Structure 1
Amino acid sequence: MPFLSGSARLEQSGECEWTLLSDVVYRDPDGPDGTPGDTWIAPAGMRTDLASVPRVAWAILSPFGLQTRPAIIHDHLSREIPEDLEGSALRCTGWRMHRQQVDRRFRTSLVEEGVPRFRASLLWMGAVMGRWLVHGHHAQVMAMVATLLLSWASIIAGALLMPSWWGGALLGAPFLVGALWGRDRSAVWTAQYPGMILLALGIGTAVVSLVEWAISQASGPRATIARPKVRPISFTPVPLRSPHPEPPVPREGASEHQT
């Protein structure tokens, strides 16, 4: 049982931000030696953007659902500062190792909650990309961006040249390049292949949202609904009655069996 608390209770406090109204408690899977894993608590009052999914991608990958509690724990642990990293730069090796463990815990909790593995891989891929953007050196960030751009160009060119062997080589080249990213290679593979389709769908959704915004701006200010004023209605409150009336109390002096 990964989560020791009930469903997460949230109150929207911003356009893409929510406030946690109750604690969310998560326990790591048992260690290899059979000992219980660590327990983590996201406290009530914490603010979160859940899985950090851009709003234009909500129609494709919603931040709500079975992934809500894992996203809250991931958000909480990402903000926690371990004692050995206090005062350290965000781009140091220690921070990247810490976030790598947090991201792995995120993927594990997603699977334990019953999130389909493909969706869990997409959400985990987003967490890994965010980790490199925040905690990676500038050269590493540029290398990641270049890897994805060249991979997508190679996949598109390979699809156009199929069924030639050149097409197959171009389609398989990103897989070999992604293997160079070590433990994060699965996330890079997800970003290279399914991520390209997700990016295309996100761009299409963004275009539709932009057109809708432009039409809304051109149509003028939002109309208000005029309600006629009515006199207040006076009423007499009805006293509450018990749904199960109590049995009558016998009078003093009455016999037990009356004729």
Structure 2
Amino acid sequence: MSAFLSPLDLREADEKDDGQWILGSPLVYQSDIAGVTFTVPAGFRTDLASVPRIPIVYELTGGTSSKAAVVHDWLYTTKLVARDVADAVLREASAVTGVPAWRRNLMFCGVRAFGWSHWK
């Protein structure tokens, strides 16, 4: 069964207020979709969900799934799995944290449509 096996420990990056966060301790996520347990290491930098700051879009999808966003950012950075699997893990991990289906499906559609620019 998919589950987060550790708490999220984030610290605001010190250099400047650019929306960056640093993982204070490892974040461990067991994914049924990928069939792997991922460990995002302490010190990993993330911007959490890269949602455009367009008011309605951000209201619907921004700031709703930080744990899932950290794992997704790690997968996009390391490319441990294919992009479609990384995106499916985002949706799966969002479900684990209780994000409603309509919201996680919007997030999934967004990363499928626009995530290619960050995957490169």
TM-score, structure 2 length as denominator? 0.80
2:3 pairs with 1:19: no
The one-character-per-residue Cα deviations of 1:220-245 (angstroms, maximum 9, x if unpaired) are xxxxxxxxxxxxxxxxxxxxxxxxxx
Q: CA deviation at 1:59?
A: 5.3
Number of aligned residue pairs: 115
Residue matched to 1:76: 74
- Quick one: distance in 1 between partners of 2:118 and 2:61? 23
Matches within 5 A, 1:184-195: none
1:47 aligns with one of 40, 45, 48:
45
Give, in angstroms, the shift of residue 63 of structure 1. 3.5
Give, in whole Å, the separation in 2 of the partners of 1:129 and 1:41. 26
Give ranges in structure 1 of 5+ residues lacking alignment.
Answer: 32-36, 83-96, 137-259
Bigger radius of gyration, 1 or 2? 1
State the alpha-carbon separation in 2 of the partners of residues 76 and 10 from structure 1.
Answer: 14
Residues 134-149 of structure 1 aligned to structure 2 (within 5 Å):
134=118
Deviations 1:117-155 (A, max 9, x none): 11101111121122344569xxxxxxxxxxxxxxxxxxx
Match of 1:117 in 2: 101
Counterpart-to-counterpart distance in 1, 2:117 and 2:23: 26
Q: Which runs of 5+ in 2 are unaligned?
A: none
- Give the Cα separation in 2 of the matches to 1:30 and 1:46: 23
CA RMSD between the two structures: 2.5
Structure richer in strand, relative to its length: 2
What corresponds to 1:5 in structure 2? 6
Structure with the larger RCO, 1 or 2 (CA within 8 Å, 6+ apart): 2
